[in-house]
Amino acid sequence: MRTTVALLFGGRSGEHGISCVTAGGILSAIDRDRFDVVAIGITREGGWVHVSDDPSDWTLVDGRAPEVAPEGPEVLLPATRHRPGTRSMLRQVVDGVISRLAEIDVVFPLLHGAYGEDGTVQGMLEMLDIPYVGSGVLASAGCMDKAAAKQLLGAADIACAPGIVVHEDRWAEGADEVMAHLERHHPLPWFVKPARAGSSLGVSRVDDPAQLEHAMKGAFAEDPKVLIEEMVAGREVECGVLQGVDTYEVRTTVPGEVRIGEDLDFYDYEAKYFGKGTVCIDVPAGLPDAVLEEVREVASRAFTVLGLEGLARVDVFVTEDQRVLVNEVNTMPGFTPYSMFPVLWENMGLSYADLLAGLIEQARGRRLGVR
């Protein structure tokens, strides 16, 4: 019997469209001789619908990302917990009639951002004992919240960019106090970023304190919790990580580097996905072997410290004096054929299709319940 995988994508976050593009990439690469696929889209309003599994329906068109439309059959989750040795039954509602959709073995949650990558969907699947790809509730929530992740990493002596956390309520009550603190303790430029958003949504560079109000407004549009960090003068390097097979030792890739041209202030949302500015991706990164090994070691330690499972992409800065500082950890990195994560593993000799198969089979074999 072939393994049946439910791909879950779209979602309520600002990264809805990128999640759909990620799904398109996986639908085009997954081995259909080995896996049956059920495509489930989550609309921007939170509805679950049965959607097309044709990858051409989930690609960028004229610079626009696809969206999950609400018109498809509503998908219903199992009414009871999954029992060991059985499959989980999904149902659908068509014209008011409930019918069988599919029996699934595992869920692949391709959701980026809030209400998907932050432990919420993971918690729901845990309650139903449905196997799924990726990290659990605590690890997903901890990495989605960049402020929390920095605290956990700092406790393990893994360096991150210096900065502060500001809640929208605190900003409304004392913006002048926050500004005074920044000017005393954190040299310009600053990077303002939502604590719980990805893909550089809501991120701004501030070179003048007069720009801070506008930057905070943009970040608060994504999240009421915001980080203000000092700029790290360094190279942006990314490392792919996979959970070990039959051992606790994790596997890492040779790191890659993102290089931006002078026409960009930083690697923002439009540059990542819509061709804005000059961006070069070097795999492997053009760094000394000793530094590449240090990046891999930091990525491996971060994966372990944060309690991650399955996969992650660890993004770091490498400074001029070759210090390695963690920027952020992504528990569900972008997964298009051109995204850094599959490209890094392709460089290690692991094909896109085999990467997906390994993640799915590992999820199937993971112990259910509290681990």
Write down the mean pLDDT value for the chain: 92
Question: What pLDDT is attached to residue 267?
Answer: 67
pLDDT per position as a tens digit, 178-236:
999 999 999 999 999 999 887 678 899 999 999 999 999 999 999 999 999 999 999 99
247 pLDDT more than 60: no
Looking at mean pLDDT, say which of 29-43, 200-214, 255-269 comes out highest. Answer: 29-43
Cα 81 to chain centroid, rounded: 27
Kindly state the helix (H) or strand (E) to which residue 12 belongs, with its residue range. none
274 pLDDT more than 70: no
Question: What pLDDT is attached to residue 217?
Answer: 96
Q: Could you tell me the pLDDT band of residue 272, with boundaries at 50, 70 and 90?
A: low
Please state whether beta strands 225-230 and 279-282 pair in parallel, antiparallel, or not at all (unpaired).
unpaired
Three state DSSP letters for 294-338: HHHHHHHHHHHHCCCCCEEEEEEEEECCCCEEEEEEECCCCCCCC
CA distance 200 to 121: 22
3-state secondary structure of 219: helix
**CA proximity to 280, closest of 271, 293, 289, 269:** 271
CA distance 196 to 217: 15
370 pLDDT more than 80: no
Q: Which residue has the higher pLDDT, 263 or 68?
A: 68
82 pLDDT more than 80: no
Within the chain, strands assigned E span 3-10, 35-42, 48-50, 74-76, 88-94, 97-104, 106-109, 163-167, 190-194, 204-206, 225-230, 234-242, 251-252, 256-260, 279-282, 311-319, 324-330
Write down the residue that tokens 């991120």 correspond to. Answer: 203
3-state secondary structure of 144: helix
pLDDT per position as a tens digit, 278-301:
778 899 999 999 999 999 999 999
Count the neighbouring beta carbons within 10 Å of the beta carbon of residue 156: 11
Tell me phi and psi for residue 162, to 5 degrees.
-65, 150
Question: Omega before 288 cis (within 30°)?
Answer: no
260 pLDDT more than 80: no
Alpha helices by DSSP H, 186-314: 212-220, 269-273, 289-305
Q: Could you tell me the pLDDT band of residue 315, with boundaries at 50, 70 and 90?
A: very high
276 pLDDT more than 70: no
Q: Taking residues 302-312, what's their average pLDDT?
A: 96
Q: Which residue has the higher pLDDT, 104 or 82?
A: 104
